[in-house]
Amino acid sequence: MGSDHRRWGNLRKVLERSGPFCRPDFEPCSENLQFLLENCKLLVIGAGGLGCELLKNLALMGFGQIHVIDMDTIELSNLNRQFLFRHKDIGSYKAEVAARFINSRIAGCNVIPHNCEIQAKDEEFYRQFHMIICGLDSIVARRWINGMLLSLLVYENGELDKNSIIPMIDGGTEGFKGNARVILPGISPCIDCTLDLYPPQVTYPLCTIANTPRLPEHCIEYVKVMQWPKENPFDCAIDGDDPQHINWIYEKSNERAAQFGIQGLTYRLVQGVVKNIIPAVASTNAVIAAICATEAFKLASSCSASLNNYMVLNNLDGVYTYTYEAERKEDCLACSQVPIVIEIKDPKYKLQDLIELLCNRPDLQMKNPGLTANVNGKNKTLYMQTVSSIEKRTRENLSKSLIDLGLRDGSEINVADVTTPNTMVVKLKLPQDDQEML
Ligand SMILES: [Zn+2]
């Protein structure tokens, strides 16, 4: 007891004394620390550069009940900054090794690993946590967990039940820049509200890559995602640093570009498209993870007001940080519960055009949307790429116009996409006059 008392001495100073920054609901007492050590259940998503820092910080800040989820295994190139891993761990699951390391090093801390993708877990799993802290490098994964937390909200007579809110603390880094934000789903702006802050997407809709390439990038992507896995020329995954691999992709993309009359494909462009790696800087991860862990501590203990609600860090030229209050988007597809209305003026507008719009619009940025609609009282799958038998059957719809597919002004299309666990509704505004002419 004596050594335990000393061990958390610094935390006790914050948790057992009042101060000018405490939230009104803060009550200084020893139960605050007990809650962190024994009851407060956290989920850390990602056990990579940010994740290692987060786990270490949270465990040292007294959080004793932590789950971590990551599907990746450890690679040699991770070891310079993902400091919970050693050379002998290469090939093992990140979540598992990270949990073992923390548990063996920090007495009393119980980290439970989940070696899978976040989509493999259901609502019941996510509902058990008090808070979710993300150290992800994927926007799709961020949007998916954002959608999951929004779907857990309970509304009674239009009023949000505050007990159903699971706060999400999101950290992100790219080179020397980073950001941290605190999201209270249903109250503060969600990931999709501020989607247009993310850099323009560098992936292309698969239907375009496969069927109607227009850019040299489309040809390179085609070889990368379709031809390589099929032909498997070197019996291994693509290595962007292997000139033989790049050369193979260069030659095959050139063939495809020639076939479609596309100009401008160079070896350098192939390298750029294939490598597409976000550089990782250990110090940026350390700063962002420290902020996220502090925000988790503040939320769990009420010892101080939370970050409101978006902080940016730029270490490129000196050290610069800035905090501002991002705003909710009134018609946010994820959190507003308002169906999105898409107006189409051209009566010949094709299904493929609509899919490309869903993928390219900065506020939507879908990846491979599957579309169903109610046409003349029947549920009809317009296009679905994720199931190959359905893809084959619905491919011919891509070149049909929306009107030929039986859609009318006011028709609602249900859209499923990897960016969210929920189905979204898109309402069409189509030209009335042309429709009558047809
Ligand atoms: Zn939103």
Band of pLDDT at residue 2, cut at 50, 70 and 90: low
pLDDT, tens only, 391-432: 999 999 999 999 999 999 999 999 999 999 998 899 999 887
Q: What is residue 200's predicted lDDT score, i.e. its pLDDT?
A: 60
Domain-embedded: residue 328: no
Q: Separation of 419 CA from ligand 1 center, angstroms?
A: 13
CA distance 325 to 271: 38
Could you tell me the CATH number of the domain that includes residue 45?
A: 3.40.50.720
| pLDDT greater than 50 at residue 279 | yes
Domain count, the chain: 3
Q: Which residues are catalytic?
A: 207
Q: Kindly state whether residues 156 and 43 are assigned to the same domain.
A: yes
Q: Kindly state whether residues 170 and 239 are assigned to the same domain.
A: no
Band of pLDDT at residue 277, cut at 50, 70 and 90: low
User: Other CB atoms closer than 10 Å to residue 205's CB: what's the count?
Assistant: 24
Domain-embedded: residue 319: no
Question: Whole-angstrom distance between the N-terminal and C-terminal Cα of the chain?
Answer: 82
> Given the structure tokens 């490309």, which residue do they identify?
356
Q: Separation of 251 CA from ligand 1 center, angstroms?
A: 43
CA distance 166 to 149: 7
Q: What is residue 55's predicted lDDT score, i.e. its pLDDT?
A: 98
CA distance 356 to 1: 62
Q: Kindly state whether residues 32 and 153 are assigned to the same domain.
A: yes
Q: Kindly state whether residues 288 and 363 are assigned to the same domain.
A: no
Domain-embedded: residue 331: no
Q: What is the mean pLDDT of residues 428-438?
A: 66
Structure tokens, 266: 């160079």
| pLDDT greater than 70 at residue 278 | no
Domain-embedded: residue 161: yes
Q: What is residue 435's predicted lDDT score, i.e. its pLDDT?
A: 47
Q: Kindly state whether residues 242 and 377 are assigned to the same domain.
A: no
Q: Kindly state whether residues 71 and 145 are assigned to the same domain.
A: yes
Please give the DSSP secondary-structure letter assigned to residue 73: B
Q: Separation of 187 CA from ligand 1 center, angstroms?
A: 9
Domain-embedded: residue 320: no
Q: Separation of 304 CA from ligand 1 center, angstroms?
A: 25
Q: Kindly state whether residues 170 and 251 are assigned to the same domain.
A: no
* pTM for the structure as a whole: 0.81
3-state SS, residue 119: helix
253, 275, 297 - which closes a domain: 275
Q: Separation of 149 CA from ligand 1 center, angstroms?
A: 11
Q: Kindly state whether residues 237 and 284 are assigned to the same domain.
A: no
Q: Kindly state whether residues 241 and 121 are assigned to the same domain.
A: no
Domain-embedded: residue 321: no
Q: Separation of 337 CA from ligand 1 center, angstroms?
A: 9
pLDDT, tens only, 124-164: 999 999 999 999 988 899 999 999 999 999 999 889 999 99
pLDDT, tens only, 53-111: 999 999 999 999 999 999 999 988 899 899 999 999 999 999 999 999 999 999 999 99
Q: Kindly state whether residues 359 and 297 are assigned to the same domain.
A: no
Q: What is residue 438's predicted lDDT score, i.e. its pLDDT?
A: 47
| pLDDT greater than 80 at residue 211 | yes
Q: Kindly state whether residues 160 and 221 are assigned to the same domain.
A: no
Domain-embedded: residue 213: yes
Structure tokens, 398: 């891509």
Portion of the chain with pLDDT greater than 90, in percent: 74
Q: Which domain holds residue 353?
A: 340-429
CA distance 95 to 103: 12
Q: Separation of 340 CA from ligand 1 center, angstroms?
A: 12
CA distance 168 to 141: 13
Q: Kindly state whether residues 388 and 271 are assigned to the same domain.
A: no
Q: Separation of 146 CA from ligand 1 center, angstroms?
A: 9
Domain-embedded: residue 312: no
Q: Separation of 118 CA from ligand 1 center, angstroms?
A: 20
Q: Separation of 219 CA from ligand 1 center, angstroms?
A: 34
Cα angle, residue 428 at apex, residues 425 and 429 outer, rounded to 5°: 145
Amino acid at 437: M
Average pLDDT along the chain = 92
Q: Separation of 170 CA from ligand 1 center, angstroms?
A: 14
